[in-house]
Chains A and B, each alone.
Chain A
Amino acid sequence: MKINKLKSLWHLPLLLALAVQFWPLIFMVSTSFKDMNQIFQASLNPLPMPATMVNYETVLNNFPFFTFLYNTFFIAILVTGLKLITSLLAAFAFVYYDFKYKEVVFNSMLLTFFIPFTVLIMPNYLLMSKLGLLNTPWGVILPQLVDGMGIFLMRQTMRGIPKALLEVAVLESASPLQVLYKVVLHLVRPSVIAVGIFFFINAWNEYFWPLLVLRDKAMYTLPLALQMFISAEGGSEWGIAMAVAMLTCLPPLILYFVSQRFILNTFMQSGVKG
């Protein structure tokens, strides 16, 4: 496609917006490779000269980085997996079964979108406290296991499956779980992966709720650990903080790039109707 010269002027504000977006990221990357002297130079030079790995060495040697990484993974993977299961099961029920007040139930579930997270903090906190789950990973995981958005997205995809495919399975006396497992799951796989990535990144970046629940530093997730280096704790070690930030960003990024190829693949495979 040819781009009209006049129209290409519109790209300028877009490029500007892009630069604004990328500026902090560029500084995160460059600062993580700078030593203290370079960081506090007045110039806005994004290139570290010379580049140093000191910050990374400090993070990996002097801090329990891998404990934080493990904690974050543990929570993010469990939240993602379990939330996918609840979303799939609920969405399947909304598609497969006909029951009274189905639309009412579904719509009231959609209403949960409009309840701000902050409103739920108190009741959730009290509940976790009563269950004795404060300061445990389970206290972080449990309140995140059901998500209206996930159910909504999965239901929309499942509604696109031709009904005859489900009926074939029903006529073969497949149980509802067999229909879900042997038919539906395969047909909605691209969406499951996309929603899974979405869940994982959200769970990975979650800051506020773990901050309330987790007290013990050994339990901290990476986003929590990050603030240790910026606050009095680490004495605002910017280089180290940025190195931790880099390492925190990496896993979701890698996951995204790896699964992106997979998503494209599955989309191509499912491009044909039965």
Chain B
Amino acid sequence: MNNIKLKNICKAYGKTVVVKDLSLEVQQGERLILLGPSGCGKTTTLRMIAGLEAITSGELEINGRVVNAMPPGERNIAMVFQSYALFPHLTVWENVVFGLKIQKLSSEEIKKRAAEAMGMLNLVGYEQHRPNELSGGQKQRVALCRALVKQSPYFLLDEPLSNLDAQLRQQARTELVKIHEIFKPTMVYVTHDQTEAMTVAHKIAVLNKGCLQQVGTPNEIYNNPANTFVAGFIGTPPMNLLKAHLLYDKIFVGNECLVLPTEYRAIIGERTTVVLGIRPERCLLEHSPMVKARISFIENLGNQRIARWQLKTGEEIYVSTADHKYALELAKGFSFEWANVCFFDTKSGENLNVKGSVIKDENCC
């Protein structure tokens, strides 16, 4: 079982704690994405797994063995760096076979592995080029190729696509997933790009300020965020978060009094205030809306339009619609289905649905 297990991992530089009590498990062949804003400790976590950063406390297990003290070279891990870290004095071929030569593999084996990987990544013909003669996308592929030829069961990637332009990034991540499907290594992938996370991951771990916020499939994370941070971080535009007041079975959203069905009242318990979370695309535009509001701004993205609404309370929300014929200017407000709403605790920001799980994740596999 080539799994990676983090048990209560902490990392501190002096008194600054960067990663707090992180416990995670990556199964063999799984693609785990560490997602979070910059400075959340995701790269530090990856570097601890690689052995490039010492672990302050906690245990790191690779394949069932505690490897806290094992030097990076002995962990048999392949890693792709954000900067690609190609050696400028070596050709593409020499870069790719660098590690294999140090491991003293036979020259036939080296040739076989490198040729195979370079063929797979469309690098044939570039063997004698130096890194400075390559485009960003090619450099990225060389870096990936160098990691591939190692044929390691563990694959660590540190924001591998962040230096590519948007179009190339999409192409590269599709390639990356394809390659992973062929070799099926245990993969940990760091990114701050949620689209990348949603498309590549089997499982996403969202981090903020060194603390793990939620681990789950992309669908779980998207539809049932564990707290307001995850809700506000995932999705463009992110989940709308609205303050609401409760009185018996009435709930006040944007100064509108709505009737709250009893099953949801049970989740909220005795609370008198709560935060409502609604995805922009789950808001319905109707002529007789539940919540009245006026549009302050419309963005047309081609495939959809995003409208910014101002509620009577002054709060702003985003509503997106793919219906091009709909006259947004005439809309008077929006409605929603209670089943599509997440309830968060006002103080802790925790999702009240998660434990009770009234909302079913329809798309979850």
**How far is B52's CA from A25's CA once the two chains are assembled, in angstroms?**
56
Q: Could you say which of A26-34, A137-145, A150-158, A170-178 contacts chain B?
A: A170-178
Chain B's closest residue to A172 (CB) is B99
Closest to B84 in A: A274
The answer on a CB contact under 8 Å between B79 and A171 is: yes
Find the residue from B50, B72, B79, B81 having the highest chain A CB count within 10 A: B81
**Interfacial chain B residues near A273, Cβ < 8 Å:** 83, 88
Q: Identify the stretch in A1-9, A160-168, A228-236 within 8 Å (CB) of chain B at 4 or more residues.
A: A160-168
Known: A164-B81, A270-B88, A272-B88. A170 touches B52 (CB 8 A): yes
Given contacts A170-B52, A172-B103, contact A274 B88 (CB under 8 A): yes
Kindly list chain A residues whose C-beta atoms are within 8 Å of the C-beta of B131: 272, 274
Q: What are the residues of chain B within 8 A of A168 when measuring CB–CB?
A: 79, 81, 85, 87, 98, 146
Complex interface: chain A residues within 8 A of B81 (CB): 164, 167-168
Chain A hits for B52, CB < 8 A: 167, 170-171
Residues of B within 8 A of A187 (CB): 88-89
A186 in the interface, Cβ–Cβ < 8 Å? yes
Which B residues lie within 8 Å of A164 (CB)?
81-83, 85
B83 touches A162 (CB 8 A): yes
Contact (Cβ within 8 A) B83 A274: yes
B270, CB-defined interface residue at 8 Å: no
Evaluate contact between A272 and B132: CB separation under 8 angstroms. yes
In the assembly, what is the distance between CA of A85 and CA of B299, in Å? 64
Q: Does B77 contact A (CB under 8 A)?
A: yes
In angstroms, Cα B146 to Cα A90, docked, is: 30
Q: Does B34 contact A (CB under 8 A)?
A: no
Interface assignment of A195: CB less than 8 Å from any CB of chain B: no
Judging by beta carbons under 8 Å apart, are B102 and A171 in contact?
no
Q: Known contacts A167-B52, A272-B131; is A183 also within 8 Å of B79 by CB? A: no
Please name all residues of chain B whose beta carbon is closer than 8 Å to the beta carbon of A165 when the two chains form the complex: 85, 87
Q: Give the residues in chain A near B188, CB-CB below 8 Å.
A: none
Q: Are B89 and A270 in contact (CB under 8 A)?
A: yes
Q: Complex Cα distance A173/B83, Å?
A: 20
Query: Given the complex, which residues of B lie within 8 Å of A178, measured CB to CB?
Result: 102
Cβ–Cβ < 8 Å partners of B132 in chain A: 271-272
Q: Which of A162, A165, A269 has the most CB of B within 10 A?
A: A165
Q: Which residues of A contact B73 (CB under 8 A)?
A: 170-174
B74 contacts the other chain (CB 8 A): yes
Bound form: Cα–Cα A168–B150 in Å: 12
Q: How far is the CB of A96 from chain B (nearest CB, A)?
A: 13
Q: How far is the CA of A270 from the CA of B89 in the complex (A)?
A: 7
Identity of the chain A residue whose Cβ is nearest the Cβ of B150 in the assembled complex: A172
Bound CA–CA A273/B163 (angstroms): 14
Q: Tell me if B319 counts as interface (CB < 8 A to partner A).
A: no
Q: Does the CB pair A186–B85 fall under 8 Å? A: no
CA distance A167 to B78 in the complex (A): 11
Chain A CB within 10 A, most for which of B77, B81, B89: B89
B82: which A residues are within 8 A, CB to CB? 164
Most buried by A among B99, B146, B150: B99
Residue total for B at the interface (Cβ-Cβ under 8 A): 28
Q: How far is the CA of A271 from the CA of B77 in the complex (A)?
A: 30
Asked whether any CB of chain A lies closer than 8 Å to the CB of B86, the reply is yes
A211 to B51 CA separation, bound complex (whole angstroms) = 54
The complex places the Cα of A273 from the Cα of B132 at a distance, in Å, of 7
B103 touches A173 (CB 8 A): yes
* Min CB–CB distance A271 → chain B (angstroms): 8
Interface-central residue, A164, A183, A269, A270, by most chain B CB under 10 Å: A164
CB distance from A77 to the nearest CB of B (A): 25
| Chain B, Cβ-Cβ closest to A166 | B85
* Distance in angstroms between the alpha carbons of A99 and B51 in the assembled complex: 17
Q: Interface code A165-204, partner B: CB below 8 Å = 1, 0 otherwise?
A: 1011111111000100011001100000000000000000
> CA of A30 to CA of B5 in the docked complex: distance in angstroms?
80
Most chain B CB within a 10 A radius of its CB, from A168, A173, A178, A269: A168
CA distance A178 to B77 in the complex (A): 19
Q: Check A171–B88 contact: CB distance below 8 A.
A: no
| CA gap between A249 and B89 in the complex, in Å | 35
Complex Cα distance, B86 from A270, in Å, reads 13
The answer to whether A162 touches B85, judged by C-beta atoms less than 8 angstroms apart, is yes
Name the distance in Å between B161's Cβ and chain A's nearest Cβ. Answer: 16
Min distance, Cβ A168 to any Cβ of chain B, angstroms: 5
| B74 contacts across to A, CB distance below 8 A | 173
A172-B98 contact given A162-B83, A272-B131, CB 8 Å threshold: yes
Q: Closest residue to B146 on the A side, CB-wise?
A: A168
A194–B333 CA distance with the chains assembled, in angstroms: 73
A162–B131 Cα distance when bound, in Å, is 15
For the complex formed, measure the closest distance between the CB of B14 and the CB atoms of chain A, giving whole angstroms.
14
Could you say which residues of chain A place their CB within 8 Å of the CB of B99? 171-172
Q: Other CB < 8 Å A-B pairs besides A167-B85, A182-B98, 17 of them? A: A164-B82, A165-B85, A167-B72, A168-B81, A168-B87, A168-B98, A170-B52, A171-B51, A172-B98, A173-B103, A174-B73, A186-B89, A269-B88, A269-B89, A272-B88, A273-B83, A274-B87
What are 22 A-B interface contacts by the 8 Å CB criterion? Answer: A164-B81, A164-B85, A165-B85, A167-B85, A168-B79, A168-B85, A168-B146, A171-B50, A171-B77, A171-B78, A171-B99, A172-B99, A173-B73, A173-B102, A186-B89, A187-B88, A187-B89, A270-B89, A273-B88, A274-B85, A274-B88, A274-B131
Interface residues of B (CB under 8 A from A): 50-52, 71-74, 77-79, 81-89, 98-99, 102-103, 130-132, 146, 150
Q: Closest 10 interchain pairs by CB?
A: A173-B73, A272-B132, A172-B99, A164-B85, A186-B89, A274-B86, A164-B81, A274-B88, A168-B85, A172-B102
